Structure 1
Amino acid sequence: MSSIIKQTRYSAEEYLTLERNAPYKSDFHNGEIFAMTGASRKHNLVSGNIYRELSLQLKKRRCEAYMSDMRVKAAKARSYHYPDIAVVCGRPEFEDAHADTLLNPTVLIEVLSPSTEAYDRGGKFAHYRKIASLCEYLLVTQDQPSIERYMRQGDVWILSESVDIEASMSIESIGCTLNLREVYDKVLDDVDQPEIE
């Protein structure tokens, strides 16, 4: 085990073997493994709310939504990541028979955390852009109403934003809409939540 700890570069196969047996999740890029940290209460609530809303809208359609345990491979970037939400429409393609590494996401969503925001906007988005099937990438702020959507149009990614609690964000490639009030349910105004007796 000590030789594995001292090793600084891994193949994708070595990473997957280690990852499938690890008690925690790690991202992988270009031979390096990066351990992931746990998420805050707000992060979990926002992610769960988005997953709930998309799952309801995708019911009885040929689309699947996955939460943060579905690994996504960006082959051309030589990287693996765990987006907060991944959606695939049509037949999902996986790296192997384990069916735990999605190759063809249609939409990826990241809920921003202070420790990961710069990477989600920069390096990770650069990796995701190399996934040919990816049509839209959403960045969701966890402590104020804000969703940024990047939509692929040819080789260009077009930004649109929704920043009001009464606003909504359309996810055109999967025919869904996120209402910010639902996304931030139980997150922003704890004082407005009814008391449970």
Structure 2
Amino acid sequence: MSAQPPTPPHMTVDEFLVWASERPGRHELINGEVVSQSAERAAHWKVKLAVHVALLNAVRAGGLNCHVVPDGATVRIDDATAYEPNALVYCGEEAAPSALTVDNPVIIVEVLSPSTGRMDRARKLADYFRLPSLAHYLIVDSNEPLVIHHRRQEGCDILTRIIREGATLLDPPGLEVVVAEIYGAS
């Protein structure tokens, strides 16, 4: 088996998308530097799948013209930074089959893991809200029922709610996510 060529020292998001599409695994680009994602544990997979199913059920129940995407789609923050969230929702026309990016996410979800927790709670929070389309950023704990819901308010304010039970309304686009659907009925 031949060795993979080295990662270029610095690249744009467009260069990164070409580079990453030819490589196995998950990668993100931060200030032009490629960051490989760590292997995920079973608890992470389980919660990530449950989030995706809960969002999909909520979109269907609301009859919304929105699309739920599991990890795999890239969200471009600027010319040198792009992330691959664990799930997202965008509304309107469906992305082309060949699309690698989602340009207008309304909801982005990151499931916490030991290796990404700090980044998800700080840098990604700030970066994701640079996107004009983003209304909600959910940080979901993989170990216990805990959803941190950051919601864009009027102006530049971000409202944060900590949710351990019950539901949270994500409006826009007008859907509700129930914590028990993510973590199982209590």
Question: How many pairs align?
Answer: 182
Task: Give 3-state SS (helix, strand or coil) of 2:90's partner.
Answer: strand
Mark the CA change 1:56 to 1:6 in structure 2 (over 3 Å): closer, same or farther: closer
Q: TM-score, normalised by structure 2?
A: 0.88
- The question of whether the paired residues in 2 share the 8 Å contact of 1:93 and 1:103 is answered with no
How much is the aligned-residue C-alpha RMSD, in angstroms?
Answer: 2.2
Task: Give 3-state SS (helix, strand or coil) of 1:65's partner.
Answer: strand
Q: Tell me the residue number matched to 1:192.
A: none
Q: TM-score, normalised by structure 1?
A: 0.84
Larger Rg: 1
**Aligned-residue offset at 1:12:** 2.4
Of the three residues 56, 62, 67, the one matched with 2:65 is 62
**Aligned-residue offset at 1:25:** 1.6
Q: Tell me the residue number matched to 1:8.
A: 9
Which runs of structure 1 show a deviation greater than 4 angstroms over 4 or more consecutive aligned residues? 1-4
**Aligned-residue offset at 1:13:** 2.7
Equivalent position amino acid for 1:131 in 2: L
Task: Give 3-state SS (helix, strand or coil) of 1:38's partner.
Answer: coil
Deviations 1:89-141 (A, max 9, x none): 123567xx831211110000111111100000111122111111001101111
CA distance in 2, matches of 1:53, 1:109: 12
Percent identical among aligned pairs is 24
Q: Which runs of 5+ in 2 are unaligned?
A: none
Alignment pair present for 1:73 and 2:76:
yes
Equivalent position amino acid for 1:178 in 2: V
Deviations 1:50-92 (A, max 9, x none): 111211221242100000111111127x311111111001235
Equivalent position amino acid for 1:125 in 2: L
Within-5 A mapping of 1:9-158: 9-59=10-60, 60-75=63-78, 78-91=80-93, 98-153=98-153, 154-158=155-159
Q: Which runs of 5+ in 1 are unaligned?
A: 190-197
Q: Tell me the residue number matched to 2:177.
A: 178
